[in-house]
Amino acid sequence: MSFTFITNKVESDAKEYAGGDAALEMDYLDSMSGQVVYNLGLVKYTYAECKQREINLGLDLKGGMNVTLEVSIPDLLIAMSNNSQDSTFIKALRIASEQQKNSQAKYVNLFYNAFTTINPQARLSSPLIFGHKDQEMINIKMSNEEVRAILTREADQAIDRTFEVLNARIDNFGVTQPNIQKLENSGRILVELPGVQDPTRVQKLLAASARLEFYETYDNQEIFQYIQKANDELTRLRVVKSDKTDTLTTDTLAVSTETTTDTLAQNTTDSSVTSELSKNEDLSGDNQMTQEKFEKENPLFALLVPNIGTNDKNQQFYNPGPVIGYATAYDTAK
């Protein structure tokens, strides 16, 4: 009982601190997770440890969320078929999805029965369905029963993987004594989360997709010529803009030069320190002008450093791969 009292006290403080802001309340509790809140002298407990030891009141007494999640087996089959457009396959999916609404049977079995009923001669291992070249688990010589066994196994594993992902996400969320269970044959997972105060946050956490995808990309050498053209075009536009302002700046420059000359004449000294400083300023000016010239002639490359390497003979080459260049985070807003 004492652990429950302590956690209730911390959570009461969180509510008072947040003033009705659920996100702020969760941030407060997260910050208290590693803080000692129950000191018995020889033994000390953090808020997280107290939460693990408090009385499990369950949804009935404590409130919270009850969520049922479903793994989309139709999407799994579509992905395994490489988005097959076979008419028998598509019709079988539609029939199985409709039958599942009023059936406790596994979706793969409903799909298989519909497929073989629509066209008894059709083969699931057809190159147009599951026997395509990108599907390593199924070959065109397999019978429909063999393919069904593979589909059933993959569907069960997809549900198991989803169950593990949900467990990990809920553990990171910090919910105490959650109840997560698979509902047999339905592809559904029941999640009970006692004491949850921010349903929106939980919904986003549970429903977030975790997908690993691969895309074919261009090589740096293929794309660089277009980056070069973009740099040249920006240079041309800058020159055109500069030409338009030359007339306006000429008179101003003349006045500024005269003023600067007079000022320098009045402040010239024979000090060796001043002379040395002047040399340094000249060098600094040269470096600045070099950088300014580069930026003027390469407005894009001044921000995006091309992905170019140098070999042992000091010859430049395009680094292989899809990376075309590098830019600082600050420059990405320009």
The pLDDT assigned to 209 comes to 63
Rounded CA gap, 50 and 197, in Å?
18
Q: Is the same domain home to 285 and 180?
A: no
Same domain, 203 and 224: no
Residues 117 and 34 in one domain: no
Question: Which of 177, 207, 237 is the last residue before a domain boundary?
Answer: 207
In a domain, 252, yes or no: no
Question: Model-level pTM greater than 0.75?
Answer: no
Helix, strand and coil content of the chain, in percent to the nearest 5, comes to: 55, 10, 30
38 and 112 inside one domain:
no
Last residue of a domain, one of 15, 31, 55: 55
Residues 22 and 100 in one domain: no
Query: Does one domain contain both 160 and 188?
Result: yes
- Amino acid present at 34: G
β pairing state of 188-194 and 64-70: antiparallel
End-to-end CA distance of the chain: 59
Is 333 inside any structural domain?
Answer: yes
Q: State the pLDDT at residue 169.
A: 78
Domains identified in the chain, total number: 3
Q: Does one domain contain both 203 and 219?
A: no
Question: Do residue 33 and residue 117 come from a single domain?
Answer: no
Q: Are residues 106 and 9 in the same domain?
A: no
Quick check: is 108 in a domain?
Answer: yes
Task: Assess if residue 13 is contained within a domain.
Answer: yes
Claim to verify: residue 108 and residue 172 sit in the same structural domain: yes
- The label of the residue with tokens 């073989």 reads 116
Which residues form the domain of 329? 215-245+279-334
pLDDT of the chain along its 334 residues, tens only? Answer: 577 778 778 888 888 888 877 777 777 777 887 888 888 888 888 888 777 766 554 444 355 677 788 888 999 999 999 999 999 999 999 999 999 888 888 999 999 999 999 999 999 999 999 998 888 899 999 999 999 999 999 999 998 988 888 887 777 665 666 788 888 777 788 888 776 666 676 777 776 665 667 788 899 889 888 989 998 998 888 877 766 665 555 554 444 444 444 444 444 444 443 343 344 444 344 555 587 888 888 888 888 889 988 888 888 888 999 998 998 877 776 6
pLDDT for res 334: 64
Tell me: do 169 and 221 sit in the same domain.
no
DSSP track, 27-86: HHHHHHTTSEEEE-SS-EEEHHHHHHHS---HHHHH-EEEEEEE--HHHHHHHHTTS---
